Amino acid sequence: MIAIACDHGGYELKQEILKYLDEEQIAYKDFGCDSTEAVDYPIYARKVTAAILDGSCEKGILICGTGIGISIAANKVPGIRAALCTDCFCAEATRQHNDANILALGGRVVGGGLAVKIVDTFLHTEFSGAERHQKRIDLIEG
């Protein structure tokens, strides 16, 4: 199960991501927001991080205008590794190396076509499980 949320700056891109998830029959929970009316991105980051930490969702997607604010907010939560990606190389590497559990996107940065490929890469790439990467992830958590 994928948790997805956005602020007003990410709303339009989220609609394109939801279309991809529907087409691919990938199950998701949409935590809002539901329009381009201004909202506060930390609230939506918190909804998705909570869904991951309570085990109801395995990965998350967060979208704001740049992807920066919403990833900063998500990364304040212990156990969350949110990766802001603008290309497929980083989406693949952050799953393989960082075992990132949230993908952050900038709705005003990447177009729908690229964003869908980034999401597809993120969702279909496994953590390598390499000892060196696990050690570094453990060091992040302290």
One of 6, 33, 64, 90 is an active-site residue; which one?
Answer: 64
33 is catalytic: no
Min dist. Cβ of residue 65 to ligand RB5 (A)? 3
Contacting positions for ligand RB5 (CB under 6 A): 7, 9, 41, 64-66, 68-69
The residue among 9 and 119 lying less far from ligand RB5, judged by its C-beta, is 9
Q: Please give the residue whose beta carbon sits closest to ligand RB5 in the complex.
A: 69
133 is catalytic: no
Min dist. Cβ of residue 24 to ligand RB5 (A)? 26
The residue among 41 and 122 lying less far from ligand RB5, judged by its C-beta, is 41
Q: 3-class secondary structure for the chain?
A: CEEEEECHHHHHHHHHHHHHHHHCCCCEEECCCCCCCCCCHHHHHHHHHHHHHCCCCCEEEEEECCCHHHHHHHHCCCCCCEEECCCHHHHHHHHHHHCCCEEEEECCCCCHHHHHHHHHHHHCCCCCCCHHHHHHHHHHHC
The residue among 60 and 69 lying less far from ligand RB5, judged by its C-beta, is 69
Give the residue numbers annotated as catalytic, written as ranges.
64, 97
